[in-house]
C-alpha cells in the first residue's frame, strides 16, 4: 500500500466519521470543503489545538475524542502533544482518560514533553482512591521513556505492597512493561515478582505468573513455595489468568515430578513385553509408581476447569493432562475437547490440530467420538481436511468399514481439494490396515474412471505409492492404468503412470514398449514432468528390453537433446552417457542397471501431524509446526524427583500485611450467607486439632474439610464480597446493604405441586409456578462495632432453626453438631482461635499424605515456649528465637521441627540469612531457604528440621548473614524428641507388657491435690512432653503414648494415682537414657504446684 493511497483513503473514512459525530461549529467548517490533503490536515490540527487550549471542558473533550479517533485510524497526531499534555491533570475523568490514551501512544516519540506529565502521575500514585492509583501506575508504566525507569521501579515496588489487590495486580502488569523497556532491571523486578507470588489474592495470581513467565521463566525455585497455593486458588482465578498459570504449572511439573508413564508405557506401547515375560511385568508392578501428592493436587484442581466456557482454558487443561497425567487419565479431557468443536471455526481449527496430534499417539482416546469428526459439506475446506486427518488416524480393523463408507461420500464431494485429500487418506488406511489394502486399491482403481481430473490424478499418485509398498503381483492394475492412460490429462498422473511402467516394466513386458511408442509420438506436446518420466521409461526399457526399444529410446533421447527445457536436455545427456555404451563411456556405464533399476524404498504414508508431537500441545508453535519466538521446550521428566519438601510452606505470613480477600483466609472474617455452618466448621476444625488429638490423625480429613470450606466459601462469596468491600471502601451503599441483611425474616419453602409444574410446561412461556424464597440472613463477625451487634444472637438462632427446616439443600450439615456448638457459635471467635485455624489450614495443605503414612497425630498444644537462640546484642541486630511447634517434620520423618523467629532489630536490612557450618558435621539439618532480605524491624518465621538422634545433645550450627556468622545451638528438651502416637488402652497395655524390666523406669511422686483432675494432669504432662493421651476407662490411671522421633521406639508413660497425693509414675521405653530424663522432667512438672 503506497503511503499516498493510504493517506487518501483514511481521510475519506475520517470525514465520514466526522460527519457521524455530533457536528460542532468547528468541525463543520472543515468537512465538505475541498482542501488539499495536507493543508486540511494541518488546518484541523490547528483547530484541535485551539479547542484544547480553550478554558471550557466540552470543546476539550470534543477535541480529545477526535484525536483518539485519529489515533484509532492509525493517523499521526503527535504534533498535538504539547497541547494535550497540558490537560493531564484535568478533573474531568473522561478527558483525563483520553489524555492517558494519547500519552501512552505518543510518549515514546516525545520523551521530553512526556516528562512534564510525570509529576501528575506521581501524585496520583498516592491518591486514596485505589482506582486512581492503579490507573496512574498503568499509564506511568506504559510511557516508554527510559529516563523514568527509576521512577517506575519505585512505583512498582510501592504498588506491590499496596493494600488494594487491584493495585497489586496493576503492578504485576507494570513489571512486564518495565522489563521490556529496560531488561537491566531484571534482578530488582524478580524481587518484586517473588513478593507478589506470595500474594494470596486471586486477582493478582494470574498477572504475576504472567510477569514471571516473561521476566524469569527459568527461576522455577520461586514457584516451589507458592505451588500449592496456586493450585488451590486456580478455580477462582479469572479465566485468562488460569490459562497462564496452567501453562506455567505444566512446565513446573515436568521438572519437579517423576514420570507417571513408566508403568503405563509397558502395556501401552510394547505389548510384546507383556506376553513375553510376565515376570518382568510383575516386577514392574511391584515397584509401582506412587504419584507425588502435589502432582495429584495439580491434576485434581485443574479438572473442574474442563467445564469452563473459555475454550483457551479447556485447551490448556487438555494439554496439561496430556503432558502430565498418567496415560489412563488423559481420556478425561476427550469429551471437553470434542465439545470445543462446536465453537467458532477458528477455535475448531486449533482444537482439531491438537486432536490430530493426540490421535496419532492415542487412538483410543477419541475413537468413541469418531462420529463427531464426520465431515459436513458446510465445513470450510481446512476444517474438512483436518477432520479427515483425524478420522484416518482413528481408523483400525474394527471401524475401518464405517470409515471407508464415510470416505466414499467424501470422494464425491464438490470440494475437489477435499476429495483429493480423501483419496490420500484412503491410501493411508490401506497401508496401515493390511486387511483392507486390496479393497482400497480396487476402490482407487475404480476412481480412475472418474470424470474429475483431480480425483483421477490423486488416485494414480496414491496407487503408485500403494503399489510401491506392496511389490506383489499387481500387473493387472498397471495394465488397467495403461489402458486409461490416453484419457488422463493431468501431468502428475501421467508422469506417475509412466514411472510405474518403467519400474515394473518386467511385469508388463508387452505393454510397456507400446506405451513408450505412444509417448515417442506425443513427446513434444507433453509437460516437462511427463517428458522426464518418458526419458526415464525409455532408459529402463532400454536396459531390460533393448531389442524392442533401442530405436525408440534413441529417438526419444534425440528429441530430449533439443528440448527447450534445460533440465530435460541435461537429463537426456546424462541418461545417454549412462546407458548407451560407447568407447568413451564412463565407469558408471557398468552400473547403469543397478542405478536405474535399484529397488526403491516404499514411500511412507503417514500423518502430516507426526512430527508435531515435539511441540507442547496448545501452543502457537504446535499450530505453526515451527518454533515460534519465545517458545519454551517442555523438559523431560526428571529420572529422580527433586526434593519434594521445597514446596512445603514454612513461612506463615503475618496476616496483618494483606487485606483478606479471595483465598482461604477470607472466610474467617466475612459476612457470610451460611454463616452458621461456616462458623461451626471453623469451630470443629479448630477443636479437633486442639482438643482431641486422636481425631485429627489423618491430615486427609483436614484436607477434605479444607475443600468443603473452600466450597462453602464460594457459596457465600456474594456476601463475602460485600464484606471485604466494606472493609476496604466502607462506602455508604455497602453498609446499607449490610443493615438490610440483618433484618431477619424467614419463610418456609412451598412445596411445588406437580400440577403447577405441568402447567408451566404446557405453556412453555409460563412461569415456574412455585415461588420459594429463602432469606439471607447473616451475621457478620467483623462488624461487631456496628449497630447490628445486638441483633446477632437471635439472628443466629433463627438461622439455626431454619437450617433444620431445610435439610435438603445442605446435606453437608449434620444437625447434631449444631447443638454441640450452640454456645460457642454465638461468641465471636477469639483472634487466637482464628489465626490458629488458619495455621492448621495451611498445614492441612502441606501435610497431605505424609502424616497419614506416619500414623502420628499432630498434637497441637497451644502453649509453646520460646527459647532464645541468638540475642540481638550478640547477633549484631539479628535476633533469633526458636520453639518446637510439635508438628511432624515434613522433610524427613526422623527430624524434629523447629521454628525460628528471626527478627531484625538493627537499623539496616540484613541480607542472605542462612545456615552455615554445623557441628558435629554429621548433624542432619534441613535448613530453611535463604532469606534474601530482612528489613529493619521486620521479622520472619521459618521452620527447619533437625535430627537429634533421640539425644538431648545440642545441635550446633552457624546462623549466617551476608556479612557475619554466629554460632548458635539448639538444645532440645527431652519431651520434644517425641511424637504423640495413637493407641487404644489395650494396645497400650500390650506394648507396656513388652517393655518391662530394664526398659521400665518408675518413681513415686506426690501430686498436689489441685493437680489430680484428668485435665490438669494432661495439661502438665503435655506441656513438657510431646505425647498423646490414651483414652481410658479407669479414672485413676492416666496413660500417654509417644514415639521417639528418630528411632521410632515407643515411649509409654503411665501415671497411676494410688492413694492421693502419692502417685506412681512409670516410663516404659527401650531408650533408657531418655526414660530417666523424661521421668525427671515429668516429676518436676507434676509435683510443682
Partner 1 sequence: MVDAEQSDLCRAHIVAAEMIHSLFLINNTGDIFLEKHWKSVISRSTPHHYLISVYRGKLFLLSVIQSEVPPLFVIEFLHRVADTIQDYFGECTENVIKDNVVIVYELLEEMLDNGFPLATESNVLKEMIRPPNILRSVVNTLTGSSNVGDTLPTGQLSNVPWRRVGVKYTNNEAYFDVIEEIDAIIDKSGTTVFAEIQGVIEACVRLSGMPDLTLSFMNPRLLDDVSFHPCVRFKRWEAEHVLSFIPPDGNFNLMTYHVNSQNLVAIPVYVKQNISFFDSGSCGRLDITIGPKQTMGKTVECLSVTIPMPKTVLNANLTATHGSYTFDLATKVLIWDIGKLNPQKLPNLKGTLSIQSGVPKPEENPSLSIGLKIQQLAISGLKVNRLDMYGEKYKPFKGVKYLTKAGKFLVRT
User: In the range 256-295, which residues lie near partner 1 by CB under 8 A?
Assistant: none
In the list 761, 787, 917, 935, the residue contacting partner 1 (rule: CB under 8 A) is 761
Residue of 7, 35, 349, 861 interacting with partner 1 (CB under 8 A)? 349
Alpha carbons 343 and 37: distance in angstroms, whole number:
45
> Strands across the sheet with 924-926, in order?
867-870, 878-883, 896-904, 939-947, 924-926
What is the Cα–Cα distance from 880 to 527, expressed in whole angstroms?
89
Nearer to partner 1 by C-beta: 1 or 1010?
1
CA distance linking residue 680 with residue 899, whole number of Å: 30
Nearest to 693 by CA among 934, 1030, 953, 967: 1030
Burial of 322 (0-12, 13-18, 19+ CB in 10 A): buried
Q: Which of 48, 52, 61, 1045 binds partner 1 (CB under 8 A)?
A: 61
DSSP per position, 547-584:
HHHHHHHHHHHHHHHT-S-HHHHHHHHHHHHHHS--TT
Query: Residue 417, interface with partner 1 (CB under 8 A)?
Result: no
- Of 381, 374, 337, 378, whose CA–CA distance to 357 is shortest? 337
CB 914, min distance to partner 1, A: 32
Angle between helices 416-432 and 437-447 (to 10 degrees): 150
Cα 133 from Cα 114, distance rounded (Å): 19
Query: Considering beta carbons, is residue 465 or 622 the nearer one to partner 1?
Result: 622
Residues 937-967 as b/e (b if ≥16 CB within 10 A, e otherwise) read eeebbbbbbbbbbbeeeebebebbbeeeebe
The three cell numbers of residue 448 are 480412475
Closest to partner 1 by CB, 731 vs 1004, is: 731
Residue 247 lies near partner 1 (rule: CB under 8 A): yes
> Roughly how many angstroms between the first and final C-alpha of the chain, as a whole number?
96
Shortest Å, Cβ 711 to partner 1? 5
**What does the DSSP assignment read for 834-898?**
HHHHHHHHHHHHHHTTHHHHHTB-----S-PPPEEEE-TTTTTTEEEEEE----B-SS-TTSEEE
Residues 6+ apart with CB under 8 A from 77: 45, 67, 70, 71, 102, 106
Quick one: which segment of 374-382, 636-644, 865-873, 884-892 binds partner 1 (CB under 8 A)?
374-382
Segment contacting partner 1 by CB under 8 A, of 290-298, 437-445, 446-454, 946-954? 446-454
Q: In terms of CB distance, is 253 or 500 closer to partner 1? A: 253
How many CB atoms sit inside 10 A of residue 185's CB? 19
* Subset of 774-793 contacting partner 1 (CB under 8 A): 774-776
* CB nearer to partner 1: pick between 272 and 309: 309
Write out the binding residues for partner 1, residues 118-137 only, by CB under 8 A.
Answer: 129-131, 134
**Residue from the set 4, 398, 451, 601 that interacts with partner 1 by CB under 8 A:** 451
| Residue 101 interacts with partner 1 (CB under 8 A): yes or no | yes
Does residue number 94 form part of the binding site for partner 1 (CB under 8 A)? yes
Shortest spacing between CB 79 and partner 1, in angstroms: 16
In the bound complex, what is the minimum distance in angstroms from residue 357's beta carbon to partner 1? 14
How far apart CA 788 and CA 796 sit, in angstroms, is 12
Does residue 735 bind partner 1 (CB under 8 A)?
no
Residues 670-689 within binding reach of partner 1 (CB under 8 A): 673
Residues 67-86 that bind partner 1 (CB under 8 A): 68-69, 71-74
CA distance 421 to 196: 52
Query: Considering the rule CB under 8 A, would residue 240 count as an interface residue with partner 1?
Result: yes
> 663 vs 975, which CB is nearer to partner 1?
663
> Would you say 405 or 521 has its CB closer to partner 1?
405
| Furthest CA-CA distance within the chain | 130
Nearest CB to partner 1, comparing residues 72 and 265:
72
Minimum separation from the CB atom of position 610 to partner 1 (A): 20
Is 780 in a helix, a strand, or coil? coil
Nearest to 805 by CA among 750, 753, 748, 743: 748
- Identify which of residues 177 and 464 has a Cβ nearer to partner 1 in the complex: 177
715 binds partner 1 (CB under 8 A): yes
Binds partner 1 (CB under 8 A): choice among 32, 146, 304, 937: 304
Nearer to partner 1, 660 or 975 (CB): 660
Residue 171 touching partner 1 (CB under 8 A): no
State the minimum distance, in angstroms, from the CB of residue 486 to partner 1.
18
Find the binding residues for partner 1 in span 886-925 (CB under 8 A). none
In the bound state with partner 1, the residue whose beta carbon lies nearer, of 503 and 671, is 671
**Region at 58 (left for phi over 0; alpha for psi -120 to 50; beta for the rest):** alpha
Closer to partner 1 by Cβ: residue 489 or 892 = 489
Q: What residues numbered 174-193 form the site for partner 1, per CB under 8 A?
A: 174, 176-177, 180, 183
Among positions 13, 290, 551, 1073, the unique one binding partner 1 when judged by CB under 8 A: 13
Cα 648 to Cα 890: distance, rounded to the nearest angstrom: 7
Touching partner 1, residues 138-167 (CB under 8 A): 138, 141-142, 144, 164-166
581 interacts with partner 1 by CB under 8 A: no
- Minimum CB distance to partner 1 smaller for 129 or for 635: 129
Asked whether position 413 contacts partner 1 by CB under 8 A, the answer is yes
307 binds partner 1 (CB under 8 A): yes
Among 409, 522, 855, 965, binds partner 1 (CB under 8 A): 409
Cβ 1084 to partner 1, closest distance in Å? Answer: 51
Say whether residue 25 binds partner 1 (CB under 8 A): no
C-alpha cell at 497: 503412470
Q: Are 388 and 409 in contact (CB under 8 A)?
A: no
Residue 1015: CB minimum distance to partner 1, A: 40
Phi, psi of 978 (to 5 degrees): -110, 160
How many CB atoms lie under 10 A from the CB of residue 313?
A: 22
Q: Which is nearer to partner 1, 73 or 883 (CB)?
A: 73
Q: What's CA 591's distance to the chain center, in Å?
A: 61
The residue from 128, 288, 376, 785 that contacts partner 1 (CB under 8 A) is: 376
Applying CB under 8 A, which of residues 160, 203, 898, 1055 lies at the interface with partner 1?
203
Q: Does 614 bind partner 1 (CB under 8 A)?
A: no
Residue from 55, 218, 344, 862 that binds partner 1 (CB under 8 A)?
A: 344
Q: How far is the CB of 190 from partner 1 (least distance, A)?
A: 15
Q: Does 618 bind partner 1 (CB under 8 A)?
A: yes
DSSP string computed for 193-239:
HHHHHT---HHHHHHHHHHHHHH-TT-THHHHTTHHHHHHHGGGS-H
The rounded distance, in Å, linking the Cα atoms of 591 and 22 is 87
CA 739 – CA 783 distance, rounded (Å): 11
Q: Which of residues 626-665 bind partner 1 (CB under 8 A)?
A: 626, 628-632, 661-662
Amino acid at each position: 500500500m503506497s503511503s499516498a493511497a493510504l493517506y487518501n483513503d483514511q481521510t475519506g473514512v475520517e470525514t465520514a466519521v466526522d460527519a457521524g459525530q455530533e457536528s460542532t461549529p468547528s468541525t463543520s467548517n472543515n468537512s465538505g470543503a475541498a482542501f488539499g490533503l495536507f493543508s486540511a490536515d494541518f488546518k484541523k490540527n490547528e483547530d484541535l489545538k485551539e479547542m484544547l487550549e480553550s478554558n471550557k471542558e466540552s470543546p476539550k473533550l470534543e477535541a480529545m475524542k477526535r484525536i483518539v479517533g485519529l489515533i484509532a485510524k492509525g493517523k499521526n497526531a503527535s504534533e498535538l502533544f504539547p497541547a494535550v499534555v497540558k490537560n493531564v491533570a484535568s478533573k474531568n475523568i473522561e478527558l483525563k482518560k483520553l489524555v492517558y490514551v494519547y500519552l501512552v501512544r505518543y510518549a515514546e516519540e516525545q520523551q521530553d514533553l512526556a516528562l512534564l506529565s510525570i509529576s501528575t502521575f506521581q501524585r496520583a500514585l498516592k491518591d486514596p482512591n485505589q482506582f486512581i492509583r492503579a490507573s496512574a501506575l498503568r499509564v506511568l508504566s506504559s510511557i516508554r521513556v527510559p529516563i523514568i525507569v527509576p521512577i517506575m521501579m519505585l512505583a512498582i515496588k510501592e504498588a506491590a505492597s499496596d493494600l488494594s489487590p487491584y493495585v497489586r495486580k496493576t503492578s504485576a502488569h507494570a513489571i512486564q512493561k518495565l522489563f521490556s523497556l529496560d531488561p537491566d532491571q531484571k534482578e530488582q523486578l524478580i524481587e518484586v515478582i517473588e513478593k507478589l507470588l506470595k500474594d494470596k489474592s486471586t486477582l493478582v495470581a494470574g498477572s504475576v505468573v504472567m510477569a514471571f513467565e516473561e521476566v524469569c521463566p527459568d527461576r522455577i525455585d520461586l514457584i516451589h513455595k507458592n505451588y500449592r497455593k496456586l493450585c488451590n486458588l486456580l478455580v477462582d482465578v479469572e479465566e485468562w489468568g488460569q490459562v497462564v498459570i496452567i501453562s506455567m504449572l505444566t512446565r513446573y511439573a515436568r521438572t519437579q515430578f517423576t514420570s507417571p508413564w513408566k508403568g503405563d508405557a509397558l502395556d501401552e506401547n510394547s505389548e510384546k513385553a507383556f506376553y513375553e515375560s510376565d515376570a518382568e511385568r510383575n516386577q514392574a508392578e511391584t515397584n509401582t509408581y506412587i504419584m507425588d501428592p502435589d502432582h495429584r493436587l495439580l491434576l485434581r484442581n485443574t479438572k473442574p476447569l474442563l467445564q469452563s466456557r473459555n475454550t483457551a482454558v479447556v485447551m490448556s487443561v487438555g494439554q496439561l493432562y496430556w503432558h502430565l497425567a498418567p496415560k489412563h487419565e488423559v481420556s478425561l479431557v476427550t469429551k471437553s475437547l470434542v465439545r470445543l468443536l462446536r465453537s467458532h471455526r477458528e477455535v475448531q481449527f486449533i482444537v482439531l490440530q491438537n486432536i490430530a496430534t493426540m490421535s496419532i499417539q492415542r487412538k483410543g482416546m477419541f475413537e468413541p467420538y469418531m462420529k463427531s469428526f464426520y465431515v459436513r459439506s458446510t465445513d470450510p475446506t481446512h476444517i474438512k481436511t483436518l477432520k479427515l486427518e483425524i478420522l484416518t488416524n482413528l481408523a483400525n480393523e474394527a471401524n475401518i468399514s464405517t470409515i471407508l463408507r464415510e470416505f466414499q461420500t467424501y470422494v464425491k464431494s464438490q470440494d475437489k481439494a477435499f476429495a483429493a485429500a480423501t483419496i490420500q487418506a484412503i491410501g493411508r488406511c490401506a497401508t496401515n490396515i493390511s486387511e483392507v489394502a486390496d479393497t482400497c486399491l480396487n476402490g482407487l482403481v475404480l476412481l480412475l474412471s472418474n470424470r474429475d481430473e483431480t480425483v483421477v490424478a490423486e488416485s494414480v499418485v496414491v496407487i503408485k505409492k500403494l503399489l510401491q509398498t506392496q511389490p506383489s503381483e499387481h500387473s493387472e492394475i498397471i495394465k488397467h492404468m495403461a489402458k486409461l492412460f490416453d484419457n488422463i490429462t493431468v501431468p502428475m498422473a501421467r508422469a506417475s503412470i509412466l514411472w510405474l511402467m518403467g519400474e515394473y516394466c518386467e511385469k508388463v513386458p508387452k505393454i510397456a514398449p507400446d506405451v513408450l511408442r505412444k509417448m515417442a509420438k506425443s513427446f513434444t506436446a507433453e509437460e516437462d514432468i511427463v517428458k522426464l518420466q518418458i526419458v526415464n521409461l525409455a532408459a529402463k526399457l532400454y536396459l531390460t528390453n533393448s531389442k524392442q526399444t533401442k530405436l525408440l529410446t534413441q529417438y526419444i533421447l534425440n528429441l530430449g537433446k533439443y528440448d527447450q527445457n534445460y533440465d530435460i536436455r541435461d537429463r537426456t545427456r546424462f541418461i545417454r552417457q549412462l546407458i548407451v555404451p560407447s568407447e568413451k563411456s564412463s565407469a558408471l556405464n557398468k552400473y547403469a542397471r543397478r542405478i536405474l533399476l535399484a529397488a526403491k524404498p516404499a514411500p511412507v504414508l503417514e500423518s502430516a501431524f507426526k512430527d508435531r508431537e515435539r511441540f507442547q500441545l496448545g501452543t502457537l508453535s504446535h499450530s505453526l509446526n515451527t518454533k515460534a519466538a519465545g517458545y519454551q521446550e517442555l523438559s523431560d521428566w526428571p529420572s529422580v524427583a527433586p526434593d519434594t519438601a521445597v514446596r512445603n510452606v514454612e513461612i506463615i505470613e503475618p496476616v496483618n500485611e494483606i487485606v483478606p480477600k479471595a483465598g482461604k483466609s477470607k472466610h474467617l472474617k466475612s459476612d457470610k450467607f451460611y454463616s452458621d455452618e461456616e462458623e461451626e466448621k471453623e469451630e470443629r476444625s479448630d477443636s479437633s486439632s486442639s482438643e482431641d488429638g486422636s481425631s485429627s490423625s489423618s491430615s486427609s480429613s483436614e484436607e477434605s474439610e479444607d475443600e468443603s470450606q473452600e466450597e462453602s466459601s464460594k457459596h457465600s462469596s456474594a456476601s463475602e464480597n460485600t464484606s471485604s468491600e466494606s472493609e476496604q471502601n466502607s462506602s455508604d451503599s455497602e453498609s446499607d446493604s449490610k443493615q438490610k441483611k440483618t433484618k431477619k425474616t424467614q419463610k418456609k419453602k412451598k412445596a411445588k405441586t406437580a400440577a403447577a409444574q405441568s402447567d408451566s410446561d404446557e405453556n412453555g412461556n409460563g412461569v415456574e409456578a412455585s415461588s420459594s424464597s429463602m432469606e439471607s440472613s447473616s451475621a457478620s463477625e467483623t462488624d461487631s462495632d456496628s449497630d447490628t451487634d445486638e441483633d446477632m444472637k437471635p439472628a443466629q438462632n433463627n438461622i439455626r432453626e431454619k437450617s433444620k427446616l431445610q435439610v435438603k439443600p445442605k446435606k453437608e450439615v449434620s444437625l447434631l453438631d449444631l447443638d454441640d456448638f450452640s454456645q460457642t457459635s454465638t461468641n465471636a471467635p477469639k483472634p487466637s482461635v482464628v489465626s490458629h485455624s488458619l495455621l492448621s489450614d495451611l498445614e492441612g495443605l502441606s501435610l497431605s499424605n505424609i502424616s497419614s503414612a506416619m500414623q502420628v497425630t499432630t498434637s497441637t498444644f497451644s502453649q509453646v515456649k520460646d527459647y532464645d537462640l541468638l540475642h540481638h546484642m550478640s547477633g549484631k541486630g539479628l535476633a533469633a528465637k526458636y520453639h518446637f511447634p510439635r508438628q511432624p517434620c515434613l522433610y524427613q520423618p526422623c527430624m524434629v521441627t523447629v521454628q525460628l523467629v528471626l527478627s531484625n532489630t538493627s537499623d539496616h536490612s540484613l541480607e542472605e540469612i542462612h545456615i552455615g557450618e554445623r557441628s558435629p558435621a554429621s548433624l542432619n539439618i534441613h535448613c530453611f531457604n535463604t532469606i534474601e532480605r530482612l528489613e529493619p524491624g521486620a521479622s520472619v518465621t521459618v521452620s527447619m528440621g533437625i535430627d537429634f538422634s533421640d539425644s538431648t545433645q545440642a545441635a550446633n550450627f552457624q546462623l549466617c548473614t551476608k556479612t557475619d556468622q554466629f554460632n548458635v545451638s539448639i538444645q532440645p528438651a527431652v519431651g520434644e524428641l517425641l511424637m504423640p502416637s495413637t493407641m487404644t488402652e489395650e494396645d497400650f497395655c500390650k506394648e507396656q507388657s513388652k517393655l518391662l524390666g530394664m526398659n521400665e523406669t518408675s518413681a513415686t511422686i506426690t501430686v498436689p491435690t489441685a493437680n489430680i483432675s484428668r485435665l490438669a494432669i494432661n495439661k502438665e504432662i503435655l506441656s513438657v512432653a510431646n505425647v498423646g493421651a490414651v483414652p481410658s476407662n479407669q479414672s485413676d490411671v492416666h496413660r500417654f503414648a509417644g514415639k521417639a522421633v528418630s528411632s521410632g521406639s515407643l515411649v509409654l508413660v503411665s501415671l497411676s494415682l494410688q492413694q492421693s497425693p502419692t502417685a506412681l509414675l512409670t516410663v516404659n521405653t527401650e531408650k533408657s537414657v531418655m526414660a530417666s530424663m523424661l521421668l525427671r522432667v515429668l516429676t518436676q512438672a507434676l509435683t510443682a504446684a
